[in-house]
Amino acid sequence: MTEALVDIRNLNVRFHGARTVHAVNGLDLSLKPGEVLTILGESGSGKSVTLKALLRLLPEKRTAISGAMTVDGIDVMSLKGRALADYRGGTTSMIFQEPMLALDPVYTIGEQIAEAVCRHKGISRSAGMDVALDMLKKVRIPSPERRLKNYPHEMSGGMRQRAMIALALSCRPKLLLADEPTTALDATVQIQVLLLLRELQKEFGMGIIFVTHDIGVAVEISDRIAVMYAGTLIETGTTREIIRDARHPYTRGLLAANLHDVTPGTRLEAIPGAPPALDARPTACSFAPRCPEAGPVCSAALPPVLTPGAGRRVVCVPKADRFAGATSAAPAVNA
């Protein structure tokens, strides 16, 4: 078995403040080199928090993180100072939803890319500008020589997103974290950026963890999909397995709510209710109150982790056991 590029074990993230928020609970996740994984989830599911934890971007004073995270053999939890700065942008890099907020408005695109390359690779400024030009060509920005001297506000939304991808990939990271990078784009631009990312991933061979709430986008970009709900990873599998054979009732509900191939005029099978508040660590299945198939066992204890296949993970009480008599938390079983 090849060494995993990313290995997250039992990650817990809590935010302190006026009230405590249990944003991520007991998350286990691994990513092979060159693999594209999508974390799919709704707002508040903890998908963006997981990404930010991987880059150590969460405010330290107000966040309690526990667990283990390794990226390319680096222990992310223990990084400090210079080593952390080398890791960010060097080994792991990130793109965001809003390039206008992520890019610096007072420097040109070329200067921003060159600065990152000079800092990480220790090369001269002019060599850095050459890399920047090369990167703008790679992300297919038209007339790259001219765009190098543009400020972010002089570019269109799609172009800015390409520029941010160029910046993120300029130091050839082994892992790219993408937090809804196409959500703010128009439909015809979104598909261009998705296909570009797919191509660049093949060319550079990096691993990508992509976060989105849009199943269609996940299908276009990913090899594997991990579904999160209320801070917990509830199902993992290949894209085919999740789309064709979703096992968790929440995943099935999300697929139905996508409205793909729904006959107009028929009643939608909506998931009732709303996601739970996250002010306590869950002691039972968080989805049970909204789940059409839940039984008393589901609300009594944390659900077991089922492994119906290699690399497949479903956190759900097996159907046969949901109405069983008073049982304690079932151990992990193979279904």
Partner 1 sequence: MADTVVDPRPDRGGPAQPLVIAKSLKRHFTISKGLFGMKASAVRAVDDVSFTVEKGETLGIVGESGCGKSTTARILVGLTPIDSGDLIFDGEQLGGDLTLKDLWAGVQMVFQDSYASLNPRLTIEDTIAFGPRMRGTSTDDARALAHELLTRVGLAPERFAGRYPHELSGGQRQRVNIARSLAIRPRLVILDEAVSALDKSVEAQVLNLLTDLKAEFGLTYVFISHDLNVVRYISDRIMVMYLGEVVEIGPVEKIWQRRAHPYTAALFAAMPSMDPDDRTEVPPLAGDPPNPIDPPSGCRFHTRCAFAEPMCGTARPTAMPVAGDADHMAACHMLDPASGHSRAAARIAELAA
In the complex with partner 1, which residue's Cβ is closer, 111 or 241?
241
In the complex with partner 1, which residue's Cβ is closer, 71 or 95?
95
DSSP string, 118-173: HHHH---HHHHHHHHHHHHHHTT-SSHHHHTT--GGGS-HHHHHHHHHHHHHTT--
Q: Which of 58, 74, 100, 243 binds partner 1 (CB under 8 A)?
A: 243
In the complex with partner 1, which residue's Cβ is closer, 173 or 275?
275
The Cα 115–Cα 123 span in angstroms is 10
In the complex with partner 1, which residue's Cβ is closer, 72 or 235?
235
Measured CA angle at 242 (ends 237, 244), to 5 deg: 135
In the range 293-332, which residues lie near partner 1 by CB under 8 A?
none
* Bridge partner list, 40: 212, 227
Q: Using CB under 8 A, which of the segments 18-26, 58-66, 152-160, 324-332 binds partner 1?
A: 152-160
Q: How far is the CB of 51 from partner 1 (least distance, A)?
A: 18
Task: Sort 149 into a burial class: Cβ within 10 Å, 0-12 / 13-18 / 19+.
Answer: exposed
Q: Using CB under 8 A, which of the segments 23-31, 51-59, 267-275, 300-308 binds partner 1?
A: 267-275
- Locus of tokens 């839940």: 294
Among candidate residues 302, 282, 290, the one with its CA nearest the CA of residue 257: 290
- 3-class SS shares of the chain: helix, strand, coil, % to 5: 40, 20, 40
Does 71 help bind partner 1 (rule: CB under 8 A)?
A: no
What are the φ/ψ torsions at residue 314 (nearest 5 degrees)? -130, 125
Does 100 help bind partner 1 (rule: CB under 8 A)?
A: no
The Cα 202–Cα 310 span in angstroms is 24
Q: Using CB under 8 A, which of the segments 66-74, 151-159, 203-211, 299-307 binds partner 1?
A: 151-159
Q: How far is the CB of 217 from partner 1 (least distance, A)?
A: 5
The Cα 105–Cα 100 span in angstroms is 8
Q: Which of 240, 281, 293, 327 binds partner 1 (CB under 8 A)?
A: 240
Q: How many CA atoms lie within 13 A of 302 on its CB side?
A: 13
In the complex with partner 1, which residue's Cβ is closer, 194 or 208?
194
Q: Which of 2, 126, 143, 188 binds partner 1 (CB under 8 A)?
A: 188
Q: Using CB under 8 A, which of the segments 14-22, 30-38, 52-60, 150-158 binds partner 1?
A: 150-158
Q: Which of 86, 214, 245, 321 binds partner 1 (CB under 8 A)?
A: 214
Does 264 help bind partner 1 (rule: CB under 8 A)?
A: yes
Q: Which of 77, 256, 284, 301 binds partner 1 (CB under 8 A)?
A: 256
In the complex with partner 1, which residue's Cβ is closer, 64 or 262?
262
Q: Using CB under 8 A, which of the segments 125-133, 188-196, 302-310, 317-325 binds partner 1?
A: 188-196
81 to each of 20, 56, 87, 217, 300, how far by Cα in Å? 28, 12, 10, 36, 44
Angle between helices 125-138 and 109-121 (to 10 degrees): 120
Does 254 help bind partner 1 (rule: CB under 8 A)?
A: yes
Among candidate residues 24, 30, 38, the one with its CA nearest the CA of residue 215: 38
Does 220 help bind partner 1 (rule: CB under 8 A)?
A: yes
Given the rule CB under 8 A, which residues bind partner 1?
42-43, 142, 156-159, 186-192, 194-195, 213-217, 219-220, 239-240, 243-244, 253-254, 256-262, 264, 267-272, 274-275, 290
